[in-house]
Amino acid sequence: MPPTEYARSSPTSECKVLNAKKGVITKMKILIINGPNLNLLGLREPDIYGRRSLSDLEVICTDAVSGTGTDLAFFQSNHEGAIVDKIQSAYGVFDGIIINPAAYTHTSVAILDALKAVCIPTVEVHLSDISSRESFRQFSYISLYAEKTICGRGFDGYTEAIAYLTEKYGKH
C-alpha cells in the first residue's frame, strides 16, 4: 500500500523563489531522463509500452521542439546512482527536467532527494497508467517533488510535458 501520510509538496517555497528569480527563459534547456529498462522499449511488452523504441521517442520529442528555440538533452540509465549524478549535474545548466524513473519511481528516495536538491522544475512521465496497475506501482516517491505527473499517455506524455514546461517557464 502507498504510504498515505505523504503528499505532493512541490515546488518548495525555496525553489519557487529561486526559479522566480530566473524570470522568463528565452531559450529553454530541458533534460529528459529515462530510467531502467526503458532502453528495451519496442522490444518487449508491446501491450503495455508500445512498439516504438527509445530512439523513436527521442525523434518525436526533438521534432516537437523544432523551430521553438527549446533545446533537449536525453539521458537513459539502468543505474540509480548514474541518474542521481545526472540530476546533480543539471543544476545551473537545465531549466526543466522530464523524468520517467521507471521502477525507481516506486523505490528511490535518492532520486527524489536529488530532484529536491537541484530545485529544477520537473515533470514526471509514465507511459502506462500506474494508478491502474499493481499496487506496488501506485506510489511514486518522485511525485512528492514533481510539479506535474503525466501517466498513461504513452509517448504523448513526453510531448505534453515539454509543452507544460515551455508554456509555464519559457518565452511565448
Active site amino acids: 49, 126
Which of 36/113 has CB closer to ligand CA2? 36
Q: Min. distance of Cβ 94 from ligand CA2 in angstroms?
A: 21
Strand pairing category for 71-76 and 122-126: unpaired
Question: Which of 77, 100, 143, 149: binder of ligand CA2 (CB under 6 A)?
Answer: 100
Binding residues with ligand CA2: total (CB under 6 A) = 17
The least distance separating ligand CA2 from the CB of residue 99, rounded to whole angstroms, comes to 10
How far apart, in whole angstroms, are the C-alpha atoms of residue 105 and residue 140? 5
| 25-64 residues near ligand CA2, rule: CB under 6 A | 37-38, 40-41, 43-45, 49
Binding ligand CA2 by CB under 6 A: which of 128, 143, 149, 159? 128
In the sheet that 29-34 helps form, which strands lie side by side, from edge to edge? Answer: 71-76, 29-34, 96-100, 122-126, 148-151
* Shortest spacing between CB 171 and ligand CA2, in angstroms: 30
Pick from 83, 139, 150, 132: which is nearest to 111 by CA?
83
Residues paired with residue 150 on neighbouring β-strands, in sequence order: 125
Q: Considering only 15-23, 77-85, 102-110, 111-119, which stretch makes contact with ligand CA2 by CB under 6 A?
A: 102-110
Residue 16 CA neighbour count, 13 Å, CB half: 6
Say if residues 128 and 49 touch (Cβ distance below 8 Å): yes
| Interface contacts to ligand CA2, rule CB under 6 A | 37-38, 40-41, 43-45, 49, 100, 102-103, 105, 126-128, 130, 137
